[in-house]
Amino acid sequence: MSDAVATTQPAPANALIKVPPAKVGLSTSSVYPETTSSAFELARRLGYDGVELMVGIDPVAADIDAVEKLRDYHGVPVLSVHSPCLLITQRVWGTDPWAKLERSAEAAVRLGAPVVVVHPPFRWQRDYGRTFVAGVKRLNETTGVTFCVENMYPWRTPGGELKAYVPGWDPTQEDYSDLTLDFSHASTANQQSLELAKAWGSRLRHVHLTDGHGSMKDEHLVPGRGDQRAGEVLGFLAANDFDGHVVLEVNSRKSESRAQREADLAESLAFARLHLAAPVQAHYAVDSSGVTSAV
C-alpha cells in the first residue's frame, strides 16, 4: 500500500476508535475506459458502499432508466450524481447549463441519491456564471437534493495562469452552503486538502478521494501516492464525525490490465476504511475484576 499507511501513528493503548457515518463510494469515472456497468459490478464485488454516477462518461451513464436497472440488479446504491459539466460532457443532456442541473436533480431524486456534484461555470459561460451562486442556492432550496460545488484549479499555461472558471476556481470565499473537496484539484492548485477541510468546516459535505503531485495536469492518483496527506484528511474528517460521502475518483486509464485496475480500486477502498477512523480517549476504566468505572 502507500507510504502514508506505513507512517500512520498507532492509537494510544487506552484509546477507542470511532468511525464516522460517512459512506465510501466509487465514482463510475474511476473505471474508465470500462463502462458504468463495470463500475457497479466492481463496487459490489470490492465492497464499496455505493457509486457516484458521472453523467456522460459513457452513453449508459446518461440513460437513467439503464442506471436504475444496474442499481437494482447489483444492489449497489447511487450515492451521488455528478452533473455533466466537464469539458467532454458539455453537450450531454443539451447545452443549457441550468437545464442540465435541473435534470441532474431529477436523476438524483429518482435514483435515491441525496447529492449532486457540480463544477463552477467556465469563464465563457458568462450568463450562467453571473447567476451561478444564487442559482445553486435556489436549487438547494427547491429540488430536495444538495448541490455541492467542487473546488477546481487555475489553468496554467506558458504565458501564466488562465482564469478558466467564474466566479472562481476556489469556492472558499463564495456563498455556497455545501462544498465538494477534490484532493487532486487541490494539488493542482498548489493547495492542501487538510487546510481546505479545516477552513470549510460544516460546509464540506462531499469528498473526492484521490491524490496528486502538484502537476499542472489534474492527475487523480490513487490516494496516498501524492502530496495531499490523504490519510490525515480522512482522519480529520473522522474526528469531526463527517457524515457525508467519500467517493473514490481516480484515473485508472493507464492500468495495464483489468487486474491492475481492480487492485488499485481495492487498495483505495482499504486506504479509505483504514484512515476514516479516529482515536478517542476512553472515559472509563475496567479493573482486574471486570468492574467498569468512570475516569
The x, y and z cell numbers of residue 232, run together, are: 490525515
- Decide if 57 contacts 86 (C-beta within 8 A): no
Confidence (pLDDT) at 136? 98
Could you give the CA distance from residue 77 to residue 229 in angstroms, rounded to a whole number? 29
Closest alpha carbon to 18 in 237, 201, 181, 295: 237
At 248, the amino acid letter reads L
Tens of pLDDT along the chain (295 residues) come to: 444 443 445 555 556 888 999 999 999 999 999 999 999 999 999 999 999 999 998 999 999 999 999 999 999 999 999 999 988 888 899 999 999 999 999 999 999 999 999 999 999 999 999 999 999 999 999 999 999 999 999 998 777 777 899 999 999 999 999 999 999 999 999 999 999 999 999 999 999 999 999 988 899 999 999 999 999 999 999 999 999 999 999 999 889 899 999 999 999 999 999 999 998 865 554 555 555 444 4
Q: Looking at the domain that runs over 3-294, which CATH code has it been given?
A: 3.20.20.150
155-157 and 160-162: which strand pairing?
A: antiparallel
Domain range annotation of the chain: 3-294
Residues 147 and 118: beta-carbon distance below 8 Å: yes
pLDDT reported for residue 272: 98
Q: What per-residue confidence (pLDDT) applies to 216?
A: 87
CA–CA distance, 113 with 186 (Å, rounded to integer): 25
pTM, rounded to two decimals: 0.89
Spell out where the chain has E strands: 15-18, 23-27, 50-54, 78-82, 115-118, 146-150, 155-157, 160-162, 179-182, 204-209, 245-248, 278-281, 284-286, 292-294
